[in-house]
C-alpha cells in the first residue's frame, strides 16, 4: 500500500483478515511468514489506535450532549 494513500480502519482490518487466513490455511510461504507477521502487527497497532481515537471522539460528543440543558432538548423533568 502506498504511503500517499491514507489507510482506513476497514482496509487495515481486511488486510489483517487476509493475512490471518493465509497463515491459518498454511498457504503462506515460510520465506514471507516473518514479513506477514510484522505487517499484521502494524495493522493491529493501527486498528487499536483508531478504535481508541474513535472512542475518545464519541466520549467528547456524548459529554457535549449531556452538557446541554434539558430545556434545549424540548423535554421536561
pTM: 0.72
pLDDT tens for each residue of 43-77: 999 999 999 999 999 999 999 888 887 655 555 54
- Determine contact, residues 12/47, Cβ cutoff 8 Å: yes
DSSP, res 4: T
Is residue 72 assigned to a domain?
Answer: no
Query: Is there a domain that residue 74 lies in?
Result: no
Give the residue-averaged pLDDT of 9-38.
Answer: 91
pLDDT-derived band at 30, boundaries 50, 70, 90: confident
Distance in angstroms (rounded) separating the CA atoms of residues 55 and 47: 12
44 in a domain, yes or no?
yes
User: What pLDDT is attached to residue 71?
Assistant: 56
Which residue is listed with cell 495493522? 43
Parent domain of 59: 9-67
Average pLDDT of the chain is 86
For the chain, how many structural domains are there in total? 1
Position 3 scores a pLDDT of 47
Amino acid at each position: 500500500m502506498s504511503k500517499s494513500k491514507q489507510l482506513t480502519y476497514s482496509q487495515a482490518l481486511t488486510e489483517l483478515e487476509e493475512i490471518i487466513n493465509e497463515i491459518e490455511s498454511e498457504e503462506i510461504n515460510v520465506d514471507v511468514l516473518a514479513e506477514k507477521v510484522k505487517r499484521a502487527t502494524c495493522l493491529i497497532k493501527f486498528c487499536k489506535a483508531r478504535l481508541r481515537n474513535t472512542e475518545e471522539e464519541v466520549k467528547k460528543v456524548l459529554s457535549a450532549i449531556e452538557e446541554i440543558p434539558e430545556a434545549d432538548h424540548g423535554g421536561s423533568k
